[in-house]
Amino acid sequence: MRPIYLLQCAALLAVSAPAAPQGSYLDHASATNKAGRQRMLSQRIFRCYVQIVENVSAPAARAQLAESVLVFDEQIPDLKAFAAQSGIPDAVADVERHWISVRALALGTPSHDGALKLRAAANQLLEAAERNTAAIVRLTGAPENQLVDLAGRQRMLSQRLAAHHVMLGMDVERPALQRAIEDDRAEFTRALGQLRSTPGNNAEVAAELEAVAEQWGRLQPMLGLKAGYMGNRAAVIALANAILNRMDRVTSIYQKEAAR
């Protein structure tokens, strides 16, 4: 483990639980985006941890893990303030409660046993973040916010697919992991089709989704146990991250349009 990673972890562990600010600057669309991003971070953290355990592009994974923990910490006060003003504090409190467990596991010593524990905890955090995002979307019921939610969830799926793919190398729970990969593959494909056929997509969104479709077409055949599996894990991670970045841009564009 590199010294810089130890320093990052020590600094992150020293951060106390954030206090909610007095007021929120978030509108409904930006709150939807931010809450939805926590779904992604739960799986990105898990993916980075598994990469470290399996020694797949581990230096990059260590840096991304530290960054993801920091971002999640920074988002909690913003979402708590929005929830307090909007009358939905219970959902984000549930996120914060599960985050404490995930944070401790993610910054512990990487191990196969730790990966299994983190997967379970990250899934609970994901479910809590999903409930919080859904509560925010229900506040207005606006179709624009639903697009922010749908596009944002694709970010999470990209990271969970990569995490489960890498975890197959651990030779634990393989049937369950294969089923999860197939379920996420089907969901991503359906949602991508829905987003691409959305009336009113501007040229920038259309171009980004076209690029995602091309990257998704290259990623899908690589998923799961097949010839060349051990050698393709780094490529799967790289493609999943490229898709994440493009879907993040799409989500941000939808957010700006919803805010208008």
Please write the tens of the pLDDT for every residue from 51-105.
Answer: 999 999 999 999 999 999 999 999 999 999 999 999 999 999 999 999 999 999 9
What's the CA gap between 65 and 71, in Å, rounded?
10
pLDDT tens for residues 234-249? 999 999 999 999 999 9
148-186 in b/e form (b: 16+ CB < 10 A) is: bbbbbbbbbbbbbbbbbbbbbbeeeeeeebbebbeebbe
Distances (CA, A) of 93 to 62, 80, 82, 97, 230: 28, 8, 12, 6, 40
Cβ–Cβ under 8 Å, residues 12 and 70:
yes
The first and second tokens of residue 92, run together, are: 């984000």
pLDDT at 1: 41
Question: Of the candidates 134, 133, 74, which has an alpha carbon nearest to the alpha carbon of residue 103?
Answer: 74
The first and second tokens of residue 260, run together, are: 């208008």
What's the CA gap between 95 and 246, in Å, rounded?
26
Spans of the chain, pLDDT less than 50: 1-21
Indicate the pTM of the whole model. 0.91
pLDDT at 7: 37
What's the CA gap between 87 and 112, in Å, rounded?
41
